Amino acid sequence: MPLLSIGSHLRRKTAQLKGALTHHSQSTVQEMYNLVQDYKRMVLLKQLLSKHLDVVQVLQELLHSSCLETFLELETAALHGTTAMLEQYLSTLLHRCAPIVDVVRLYVLLHTVGCSTAQFLNTFRTTVYSVYGIAHLSTLIAVETVLRAWNLSAAQWRRLTQILELLHDPSNSVFPTQPSLHLYQHYVPLSVRCIQCMLHSSHFSALPRPLLTALRIPPGPVFEYSQASNLQHLRCISSSVVHDDMGGIHSATIDDTIRVASIPMEHTPPTSDVAATDHRASTIHLFVFVGGCTYTEVSCLRAAFPHSLVLTTDILTSVTFSAALCSNVF
């Protein structure tokens, strides 16, 4: 493709991507994934057009957008690319003296996937000490202590998967089955796995005991479930909960104000014939996330239950997870 044609294509895609970023809170899960794929392709094209100063300047403005730093999907996309890309991004945060929480978030990712070199991690520690001060030595030690609890052998992971009946699709390359990567990608959406389990059952009878056990995997959410005659209630303390390796539970501060994340209320009273045969048409499902949820949970619930009300104290991202980790561990 001619250089000018590529430059024109990049300008067009950059405008589209910037528009998508400004409305990312309204995006579905698939739209967010497509956005990340576009971002990855633009990074590759940037490398090919390093001498095209006009396009590179536009891309640099986009790549340094603060919106991108809040995306868990961006970090996941980096995993499916190269570790060098993630290391370079982390080095950029260090040189810009970014908030320590953002740096810790990327450090957690590098440690969890276990694919970074020891040389880079040693250089990273030295840089953190020089940029943020020796006071953060205890911070990094605490992070590494917590993350070591997540390292499982392949045999242990397979056994744990069988015992806890963890749900995953082996054919789906977006969610690899390596233990550390699985735990990192699903530190929030174990609740989505709970929703998946419910979708495969005909009724909300009761949560199976193995699933309740799986939800205690650090740092999985803790659920309370109850059912009434015409109202089903699911209460979740989500990723603001951090489990330590001694079995303790530390909870971050929970906002007292519960706000509505999604209210698809297209409900019409059933006819007498429908009511006589099936009272489920008049059922409204209420989902309350105390501690927060992600857009993934909201999207799943909206697709699964058209007559539902979703309440949450907060919308969570990897940034809020890191903040909870820092406040509880350090």
Worst-scoring range by mean pLDDT, 49-63, 143-157, 200-214, 230-244?
Answer: 230-244
Q: How far apart are CA 46 and CA 126, in angstroms?
A: 30
Q: Grade residue 150 by pLDDT with cuts at 50, 70 and 90.
A: very low
- Residue 187, token pair as written in the block: 């530190």
Residue percentage of the chain with pLDDT more than 70: 12
- Mean pLDDT on 316-326: 56
CA distances from 3 to 51, 149, 330 (A): 10, 49, 50
Where exactly are the structural domains of the chain?
1-65, 202-329
> In this predicted structure, what is the pLDDT of residue 128?
78
pLDDT in tens, 238-297: 333 333 222 222 333 233 333 333 333 333 333 444 444 454 456 677 777 766 666 556
DSSP 70-130: G-HHHHHHHHHS-HHHHHHHHHHHHHTT--HHHHHHHHHHHHHHT-S-HHHHHHHHHHHHH
pTM of the model: 0.30
143 contacts: CB under 8 Å, gap ≥ 6? 104, 107, 108, 111, 325, 329
Say what the pLDDT of residue 232 is. 39
Segment among 7-11, 120-124, 206-210 with least mean pLDDT: 206-210
Q: With 50 as the cut, is the pLDDT of residue 8 above it?
A: yes
In this prediction, residue 292 carries a pLDDT of 67
Confidence of residue 77 (pLDDT cuts 50, 70, 90): very low
Q: How many residues does the chain have?
A: 330
List pLDDT tens digits, range 87-104: 677 777 777 777 776 677
pLDDT of residue 31: 62
pLDDT tens column, 24-69: 555 555 665 666 666 666 665 555 544 444 444 444 444 444 444 4
The pLDDT, as a whole number, for residue 17 is 61
Q: Which residues on neighbouring strands pair with residue 226, listed in sequence order?
A: 233
What percentage of residues in the chain have a pLDDT greater than 90?
Answer: 0
Q: According to the model, what pLDDT value does residue 242 have?
A: 31
- Indicate whether 137 pLDDT > 60: yes
Mean pLDDT of the chain: 52
Looking at residue 36, its pLDDT comes to: 61
Q: What is the pLDDT of residue 135?
A: 67
User: CB-based contacts of 236: which residues, under 8 Å, 6+ apart?
Assistant: 191, 221, 222, 223, 224, 287, 288, 289, 290, 291, 293
Confidence band, pLDDT 50/70/90 cuts, at residue 224: very low
Q: What is the pLDDT of residues 161-194, one digit of tens each?
A: 454 444 444 444 444 444 444 443 433 334 444 4
Phi, psi dihedrals of residue 72, rounded to the nearest 5° = -65, -30
pLDDT in tens, 297-310: 665 566 556 677 77
